[in-house]
Amino acid sequence: MSVLSGKKIVLGVSGGIAAYKTATLVRLFIKAGAQVQVIMTPASKDFVTPLTLSTLSKNPVHSAFFNEEDENAQWNNHVELGLWADLMLIAPATANTLSKMANGNCDNLLIATYLSAKCPVYFAPAMDLDMYKHPSTISSFSLLQKFGNIMIPAESGELASGLSGEGRMAEPENIITFLENDLESKLPLRGKKILITAGPTYEAIDPVRFIGNHSSGKMGFDIAQSAANNGAEVTLVSGPTALSVSHPNINLIRVTSAKEMYEACHQHFHNTDVAICAAAVADYRPKKVAEQKIKKAADDFTIELEKTEDILASLGKIKENQLLIGFALETENEIENAKLKIQKKNLDLIVLNSLQDEGAGFAKSTNKITFINKDFVVEPMPLKSKQAVADDIINKVIVHYEKNS
């Protein structure tokens, strides 16, 4: 999965021959899972049609502040476009557009949106070699980078003039690679290894039956996705679920029983920076597992149980510098029981779920949690989607490393 997946991108197209490459660029953004809004300068429409870019982006193309031919036309709000974007890319960025950006010469919708943008701005210059080396162009490059904009250097090759040299806009594939590498290098959990457990465990009674619970694993899988999206290398140990992963930074290890999950966690914990135990591990398992299916014969049937390994407590005992986060699902005395778990299991943070809260619990798309840290600071959170809750949990990890950096 590309780091561009889910990103909102404003693509600004200015009037140079390289504008024809933006059709491929938009297609690659969409293929990577991004949302794209295109803004064209009036001159750029001589090189590529708005219809082409609108079709590929699946959004209307913006070029003017309003449609002069329609007196009832809605204003294209450059402020909203600038605030909507997670990143803005101006490609091709001609010498004319670069000069306007550097000097705040706001005479079209593209420059107005650029001046309103609160997101990272990238620009990919495209011009003839003499223009590229001209002192005024070099001054524009320098000013724009001082402003915090990021330059995607032009490439060398055959130019529209027939000359060959530097000034050719980077190829669309290379622009995508540049953006991905730059974004990944700035992810807050880049270089961190995170161990996450998810789902239920199944404890066998016989070859057919087991003791389990209703956990779908969604919470743990969403945490893994959020961690990977923020640059972490994730090991996800999951009990039986119907869920799968697609992010290349997530290594999924499937297990069935509490014992298997315990062994997998201990195999990876020593090389881990953070462990988040979100699995609903069975507390007990049958002491003896029948080799054959148990027949329904007697009116009464008793199964002798024994405790399973307490994975979270065992990790707390051997914890060194790892950040250890646990979950607590309670039905009564929630805060008090969660605080006891923090002490007994040597946790840094606990995520409390209460089955008393509507929208929380198993097999739901939402969750309502309360954070309690090792200093017993209680932070209740509103009902959110499980993905939003996962982001909140990972944000706690990010804040921890920001404070200790």
Architecture of the domain spanning 8-185: 3-Layer(aba) Sandwich (3.40)
DSSP E strands: which ranges in 16-129?
A: 35-40, 87-93, 121-125
Contact 29, 9 (CB under 8 A): yes
Q: Which residue has the tokens 């869920």?
A: 243
CATH 3.40.50.1950 placement within the chain: 8-185
Per CATH, the number for 193-403 is 3.40.50.10300
What predicted TM-score, i.e. pTM, was given to this entire model? 0.82
Structure tokens at 356: 């008393």
- Give Cβ neighbours of residue 170 (< 8 Å, ≥ 6 apart): 91, 124, 152, 153, 154, 155, 178
Just list the catalytic residues.
213
What is the pLDDT tens value at each position of the chain, 405 positions in all? 788 988 999 999 999 999 999 999 999 999 999 999 999 999 999 999 999 999 999 999 998 876 555 555 555 567 788 899 999 999 999 999 999 999 999 999 999 999 999 999 999 999 998 999 999 999 999 999 999 999 999 998 887 877 777 889 999 999 999 999 999 999 999 999 999 999 999 999 999 999 999 899 999 999 999 999 999 999 999 999 999 998 989 999 999 999 999 999 999 999 999 999 999 999 999 999 999 998 888 888 899 999 999 999 999 999 999 999 999 887 778 899 999 999 999 999 999 986 666 665 565 678 889 999 999 999 999 999 989 999 999 999 999 999 887
236, 198 in Cβ contact below 8 A?
yes
Which residues, including other chains, have CB under 8 Å from residue 272's CB and lie 6 or more apart? 193, 194, 195, 235, 322
- CATH 3.40.50.10300 region(s) of the chain? 193-403
Rounded Cα distance between 322 and 135, Å, is: 52
